[in-house]
Amino acid sequence: MNYWGQSNDIFDQGYKALRKSVLLFGLFFTALGIMIFMFPKLIAYMVAFFILSVGIFGLLLGYRIWKLRNQARPFDWEDEPLKTQVEVENPVSYRRTITFILR
């Protein structure tokens, strides 16, 4: 332990960071709960904001993928079959057909 109360121990620093983050997490959700009791429409606004932000993110992602398609395939593909394929003839097979005539 140093003179100023600071420690070089990594576990001590990790414990302090964990403690602060848990306290801030609890404080945030307590304040959010109080605000929801005071303003019940806050839940609807939060859900609407979440849906809106996911929708905008989806639009931006779709646009980026659409633009990436033009960069990945700048030329037109030809729909002709490959010339290197060897045409294989079907082997000739004989089969016997048996027909029953019933009276």
Structural domain that includes position 59: 40-77
On whether residue 87 sits in a domain, the answer given is no
On whether residue 60 sits in a domain, the answer given is yes
On whether residue 57 sits in a domain, the answer given is yes
How confident is the model at residue 5, as a pLDDT? 61
CA torsion angle 21 27 33 35 (round to 10): -120
At residue 2, what is the residue type?
N
Domain count, the chain: 2
**DSSP classification of residue 75:** S
On whether residue 99 sits in a domain, the answer given is no
Q: Are residues 46 and 20 in the same domain?
A: no
Q: Are residues 46 and 29 in the same domain?
A: no
On whether residue 56 sits in a domain, the answer given is yes
| pLDDT one digit per residue (tens) for the chain, 103 residues | 555 666 667 778 888 888 999 999 999 999 989 988 998 898 899 999 999 999 999 999 999 888 887 666 655 556 665 555 556 666 666 666 666 676 6
Q: Which pair of tokens denotes residue 61?
A: 């992602």
How confident is the model at residue 80, as a pLDDT? 60
Q: Are residues 56 and 29 in the same domain?
A: no
Q: Are residues 26 and 59 in the same domain?
A: no
How confident is the model at residue 14, as a pLDDT? 82
